[in-house]
Amino acid sequence: MAQTVNLWNQELGRVPLEVFEQVDTTSLILAGNGLTELSPEIARLQALRMLDLGHNRLAGLPDALGEITGLSDFLYLHDNLLTSLPVSLGGLTRLRYLNIGDNPLSDFPAAVTHLAALVELRMENNRLTAVPESIGRLQLLRELHLRNNRLITLPEAVGALTELRHLDLRGNPLTALPESIADLPRLGKLDLRWTASLDPPLWLERLEARGCLVYR
């Protein structure tokens, strides 16, 4: 039976030890608790499918988080102080939704490109300066949100994301984009607002002609 532990917005400061003893927990909400660290004991919760650690003060995460291989539905890490993610998070190969927005991330975490089941990836309001070619591994990705970063372009490998429906690039200092985006067969929305530095490429007209909504 699904079991939810909801400790949202209680300013606990630390996770009570008894939380890690409830090994049948499938959804754990720890958002808004002023957490500065997460115990490796989190790995005891092998039944977890959803974990919300948003709106805390986490500057790092334990390697043990990557051991919860059944984590499949949602992982919220937004609005923390994360500058990197542990490589071990690449072990969450069943995870479908990841939000790591509103963190001081300047480098795209390598672990993310190993999350082969991702359907939605949110990396808004970070400090990213580049997206790696390995983004092309995320073959099931439908939504990619990169609003308000420091990107000047994207890699050609974005064209390998054949399931992509929504690409949000608002508020980046873009100067160029790969033409491979024009060949994404399912792209229905491309958001380029607040990118005044970008000279709109001619292939945007091809996207619009086949029904893709291009906001610019």
Share of the chain above pLDDT 90, in %: 99
Classify residue 74: in a domain, yes or no: no
Q: Is residue 86 in a domain?
A: no
pTM reported for the whole predicted model: 0.97
User: Is 169 contained in some domain?
Assistant: yes
CATH number of the domain that residue 199 is part of: 3.80.10.10
pLDDT at 211 over 60: yes
The whole-chain average pLDDT of the chain stands at 97
Tell me the pLDDT tens digit for each residue of 68-101: 999 999 999 999 999 999 999 999 999 999 999 9
Parent domain of 137: 131-142+154-216
Check: CB of residue 113 under 8 Å from CB of residue 137. Answer: yes
Note the pLDDT tens digit of each residue in 162-195. Answer: 999 999 999 999 999 999 999 999 999 999 999 9
What DSSP string describes 45-74? -TT-SEEE--SS--S---GGGGG-TT--SE
Q: Which two tokens stand for residue 18?
A: 């008894």
- Is 72 within the bounds of a domain? no
> Which residues have CB under 8 Å from 206's CB, separation 6+?
182
Residue 43: inside a domain: no
Rounded (10°) CA dihedral 182, 188, 190, 193: 140
Q: Which residue has the tokens 């005044």?
A: 196
Q: What is the pLDDT at residue 165?
A: 98
Length of the chain: 216
Residue 2: pLDDT band with limits 50, 70, 90: low
Give residue 142's pLDDT.
98
Q: Say how many domains are in the chain.
A: 1
What pLDDT shows up at residue 148? 98
Q: What pLDDT digit, counting tens, does each position of 33-56 carry? A: 999 999 999 999 999 999 999 999
Domain annotation covers residue 117: no
